[in-house]
Structure 1
């Protein structure tokens, strides 16, 4: 059984709670779908833990941004993380592939295979974000024949099985349950509670899980770093 984590965003207590829950449930291995550190929490400490674990890990859009953007061009979350990472931690980032075939049946992406910013299971429209239809998902999958594609990026847990039998699953976010974004249009994600999300995979069957952790500690850390938006999201699962 595989534990699937994504979008940790430096939330160390959430990560530790998810690892404990997954191991108690019988997970024998872990994979990480990216966006591991960006945010006003514990980027360096989270990197240290992940590097010790040595799980198969792919890069998300925030890894790419941390490696390629100047500090002046970065948003506040990326800049906070970048200023606290060592050369060894940045080298760990640089070695992460954008996609990974975990096996003949399981394929890992952050957004989609063609872009780390593309939403695979959701669509952003002027009215906001909605669940994508099967035809939209199939188009974004392209020629992939993997029985199971695992994706992150949206922070929204969802499992879809297409008419041709391919399954796509997003485990949700370990570390952040609400946020504002503006790509490709402004939208808001809200899971409505502070629980840490991940998934367990048995064969190609996926179970979505949500775990309580000390979200008040994470919210307090965000507040101390001047990020009231993150503090609200971490406490409530709603955007401020």
Structure 2
């Protein structure tokens, strides 16, 4: 059975303008399956709308395209550190991120009771890591799937990289969390994609075994304000960078009194 072309998205952070552009592009490129690596919520002004899209698109059974209702391959959504904070505590978050979690918690609890319960039930059951026949998926890293950051500078930390490759349950692992797209090969090579870039071959041999950071749809942090996601065909990965209306996304944050303006500012510069 062939591996379906899979769009892997991460760190949406309540940014609907970015998510809608990413999904339209993935659809146009022929994606038939969607995987979200977590942090659907937090920072941004539309957590409910992002959850509505992800709960349909990434359903593990009966996934459908929100655009036309067509059936998709079964998807997957993971729990990120922001979902974990919503369900537990955001005490270890910085004050701006904590303020966003507190507002998001109230936002998901308002309105129609059944709809609110559906959000919380969904967040409660999604897991921080998963595998399919080809790949492992985690929000943070293979070793610590919720909170561990993998950044380009970590290639100089051989102990950290070795521990993460040792924890991989497949020959490729897709992660998010750092919001910085990169391909880390087990043989020590690091690739920083330049815009829409690829393919990068992935596989079982040491020179193809890799951890792939898919970047962020909703809050890029590599100095490029364009959204980032990847397409995976079971053998290689393409990175996609796209313009979206980041000014509109920033304006929606500024319109919410309880969300710090800093969260809008960083969308303008990709940091």
Query: How high is the TM-score relative to the length of structure 2?
Result: 0.75
Q: Is the 8 A contact 1:176 1:234 kept in 2?
A: yes
Mapped pair 1:63 → 2:94: no
1:111 maps to: 140
Q: Is the 8 A contact 2:90 2:101 kept in 1?
A: no
Mapped pair 1:8 → 2:12: yes
Per-residue deviation, 1:76: 0.9
| Alignment partners' CA distance in 2, 1:65 and 1:162 | 31
| Alignment partners' CA distance in 2, 1:60 and 1:16 | 20
| Alignment partners' CA distance in 1, 2:166 and 2:121 | 31
1:80-139 CA distances to partner (integer Å, 9 max, x unpaired)?
A: 211111221011011101110122x200011123421112x327xxxxxx2434733221
2:196 maps to: none
Deviates more, 1:220-229 or 1:151-160: 220-229
User: SS where residue 231 of structure 2 aligns?
Assistant: strand
Query: How high is the TM-score relative to the length of structure 1?
Result: 0.84
| Alignment partners' CA distance in 1, 2:81 and 2:246 | 24
Gaps of 5+ in 2: 60-74, 109-115, 188-205
| Alignment partners' CA distance in 1, 2:49 and 2:140 | 25
Mapped pair 1:167 → 2:225: no
1:141 maps to: 165
Mapped pair 1:75 → 2:98: yes
1:102 maps to: 132
1:83-102 maps to which residues of 2 (within 5 A)? 83-85=106-108, 86-102=116-132
Q: RMSD in angstroms over aligned alpha carbons?
A: 2.0
Deviates more, 1:219-228 or 1:136-145: 136-145
Q: 1:160 to 1:134 in 2, by over 3 A?
A: farther
The structure that is strand-richer by fraction is 1
Q: 1:9 to 1:199 in 2, by over 3 A?
A: same
Gaps of 5+ in 1: 124-129, 178-189
| Alignment partners' CA distance in 1, 2:126 and 2:135 | 17
| Alignment partners' CA distance in 1, 2:157 and 2:35 | 25
Considering only CA atoms, is the larger Rg found in Structure 1 or Structure 2? 2
